[in-house]
Structure 1
Amino acid sequence: MDYENMDKKMLIKILRQKDDMLKKLCLEKEKLNYYANTDAMTGVLNRRSGLKLLDKGLNLSKINDRDMVVCFIDIDRLKIINDTFGHEEGDKLLINTARILKESIRKTDFVIRMGGDEFLVVFPETTMKEINKIWHRIYVKIEEINKNSSKYNLSLSCGFYEYKKEGQSEMTASDLIKNADFKMYNKKLNKKEKFDDKCINNIN
């Protein structure tokens, strides 16, 4: 293109058009990256991208000689809620759970939807002592939702596992998840769940 013989206004117009096209391409790329890494329903990380990030976080903890905590979460009685109130209500419960988790954790933490009614929250370079304040915020928000719900209560079963820098150098991300899942499952078994036609009771 002969820029030297081109009218100045036309040149500015063409350059602006190119700039707009580049911006649109960048936005499209960001959208593609977002949808590739995000669970469509809840907006948290999907399993594939989340586990990659967990693996990187664990490696950093090993390199920096720092602890890490993971929490495996299962939404109690989601199947009963789906069967009783419909899948739309069940989807709403999943979305609300993800929102509460995202709003309560720190910028360095992240949430993964593992599938179905299961989530994993990762707390990089953190100890269990530091988790209490964060988890208190989550349960305060759950209580607020339950106060305004006449159909059922949101209840979570959670299992925490802490990777400690001493003596666990061979541990993998899969090991962390399995240990946290095992603790969650034991807590779930110990819960006494009650259900009737009108209300599902929260017994955390």
Structure 2
Amino acid sequence: MDYNNMNKEKLVEVLMEKDKILRELRLENKKLNSLASFDAMTGVLNRKSGLELLEKEFNISNINNRNIVVCFVDVDKLKHINDAFGHEEGDKLIINVASILKNSIRKTDFVIRMGGDEFLIVFPQTTMKNANKVRYRILKMIEESNQGNIKYNLSLSYGFYEYGNEIENKLTVNDLIRRADIEMYKIKSVKKKDFKDRYRKQNR
């Protein structure tokens, strides 16, 4: 474009238009980057971006000598719900769980969808005392959700792990997740045992 032969008014108009286009492109790029960070179905952080943020918060906790808590969450009996009511109902259940988790956490916390029916809640620079307050809110919202559901009861298994770097300074982020996962499976195993015991009693 030949700017030399343009009058001043026209030049200002062209430059303003170019500036507008650049702003729109930057905004669009920002939206795309944001979308790439979130799980399309649930709206919580996807695994890749979530774990990157967890790594940053883990490092900050180490620098500031503050604890960090992670909670591994698994939706109970999703396969049974998919088989009985269809995968669309199963998807609705996962979306509902994500919504409950998002609406229960504090502004400083975040939720990651690890895959399928598994989520990770991260409580940066905090202790189990504060994380437990969130846990109670989640349990209350689950109870309210089940009151309006005549098909099935929503149930979660979860395991918390609190990390303090003064004692465990050799642990990694993967270690935190693995330990929370182990705690979650302990709860899930107890639930399965209770279910089997009730089933045996009913069929004697």
Could you state the TM-score of these two structures normalised by the residue count of structure 2? 0.89
1:100-111 correspondence to structure 2 within 5 Å:
100-111=100-111
Report the RMSD for the aligned CA atoms in angstroms. Answer: 1.6
C-alpha distance in 1 between matches for 2:4 and 2:150: 69
Partner of 1:6: 7
Check whether the contact 1:111–1:121 (CA below 8 A) recurs between aligned residues.
yes
Instruction: Say whether the 8 Å CA contact 1:3–1:11 is kept in structure 2.
Output: no
**2:145 paired with 1:145:** yes
Q: Give the SS at the match of 1:114.
A: strand
Gaps of 5+ in 1: 195-204
Identity %, equivalent residues: 59
Q: Per-residue deviation at 1:37?
A: 1.4
Match of 1:127 in 2: 127
Distance 1:7 1:160 in 2: 66
| Worse-matched range after superposition: 11-20 or 98-107 | 11-20
Please say if residues 67 and 165 of structure 1, whose CA atoms lie closer than 8 Å, have aligned partners that are also in contact.
yes
AA at the equivalent of 2:11: L
- Write out aligned runs for 1:1-204 (5 A): 1-2=2-3, 5-8=6-9, 10-191=10-191, 192-193=194-195
Aligned CA distance change for structure 1 residues 77 and 3 (closer, same or farther; 3 Å): farther
Deviation at 1:54, TM superposition (A): 0.9
* Kept in 1: contact 2:102–2:110 (CA 8 A): yes
Q: Which runs of 4+ in 1 moved over 6 A?
A: none
| 1:78-135 Cα shifts (integer Å, max 9, x gaps) | 0100110000010011111111111111111111111111000000001001112212
After superposition, give the CA deviation of every residue in 1:52-75 in whole Å (9 maximum; x if it has no partner): 111111111111000000000000
The size of the alignment, in residue pairs, is 193
SS of corresponding position for 2:18: helix
The aligned amino acid for 1:27 is L
Alpha-carbon shift at residue 165 of structure 1 (Å): 2.8
TM-score (norm 1): 0.89
